[in-house]
């Protein structure tokens, strides 16, 4: 549809007083901008390495952070399915960086030295390292099955975080 001066009509722009984003008052685009998605997942994943030190919640927050970075770049919140994909990608970045360090430990059979280092550090923070749960988790941490468990854990929980962030802050925001 052309305007009187020959230019195409553009949808009206609304600048949100809360987010500061300008977006047309039309449907949210459903296609994923892969470049923006990769950048958002990488940023969130590398920050997620630090955030993941908070058990379970850290990985969920990593997925939510990927949606935040995508929203900041694109100016809209994607749907929950795209949010889950963004979160999952961020979780895979966290897994990849951790695997980069854990695989050589497994290959070169350095598990016991790493476990001793973790136990020493935990004792400095006042953690009871004599409990069977702590001992079992330390033994499982540097094994192929422990690495596979972390892969599934990071993928599932970061995807949940991305989907929740997209659902909570998306169109018709619940918060």
Does residue 58 contact residue 98 with C-beta atoms inside 8 Å? Answer: no
Q: How confident is the model at residue 4 (pLDDT cuts 50, 70, 90)?
A: low
Read off the pLDDT of residues 70-102 as tens digits, 9 standing for 90 and up: 999 998 888 999 999 999 999 999 999 999 999
Per-residue confidence band for 175, with pLDDT thresholds at 50, 70 and 90: low
CA dist 153 to 43, 141, 173, Å?
A: 20, 13, 28
Instruction: Give the DSSP H or E segment for 138.
Output: helix 132-141
Residue 75: its pLDDT value, please? 87
Mean pLDDT of 53-78: 93
Q: Of 42, 39, 29, 40, whose CA–CA distance to 76 is shortest?
A: 29
91-140 pLDDT, tens digit per residue, is 999 999 999 999 999 899 999 999 999 899 889 988 888 899 888 888 88
* Stretch 164-172: mean pLDDT: 85
CA distances for 173 relative to 78, 86, 100, 164, angstroms: 12, 19, 38, 11
Could you give the angle at the alpha carbon of 32 between the alpha carbons of 86 and 1, nearest 5°?
155
Q: How many CA atoms lie within 13 A of 53 on its CB side?
A: 5
The answer to whether residues 173 and 110 touch, using CB atoms and an 8 Å cutoff, is: no
CA-angle at 75, arms to 33 and 26, nearest 5°: 90
- The bridge status of strand 13-15 relative to strand 22-24 is antiparallel
Strand partners for 22: 15
pLDDT for the residue numbered 118: 87
The predicted structure's pLDDT at residue 127 = 85
22 contacts 76 by C-beta, under 8 angstroms: no
């Amino acid at each position: 549809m052309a305007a009187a001066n020959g230019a195409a009509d553009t949808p009206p722009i609304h600048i949100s007083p809360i987010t500061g984003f300008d977006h047309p008052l039309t449907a949210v685009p459903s296609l994923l901008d892969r470049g923006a998605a990769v950048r958002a997942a990488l940023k969130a994943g590398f920050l997620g390495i630090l955030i993941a030190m908070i058990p379970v919640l850290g990985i969920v927050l990593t997925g939510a952070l990927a949606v935040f970075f995508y929203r900041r770049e694109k100016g809209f919140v994607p749907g929950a399915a795209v949010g889950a994909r963004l979160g999952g990608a961020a979780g895979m970045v966290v897994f990849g960086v951790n695997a980069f360090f854990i695989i050589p430990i497994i290959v070169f059979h350095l598990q016991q030295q790493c476990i001793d280092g973790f136990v020493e550090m935990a004792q400095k923070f006042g953690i009871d390292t004599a409990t069977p749960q702590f001992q079992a988790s330390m033994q499982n941490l540097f094994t192929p099955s422990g690495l596979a468990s972390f892969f599934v854990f990071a993928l599932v929980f970061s995807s949940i975080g991305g989907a929740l962030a997209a659902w909570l802050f998306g169109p018709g925001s619940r918060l």
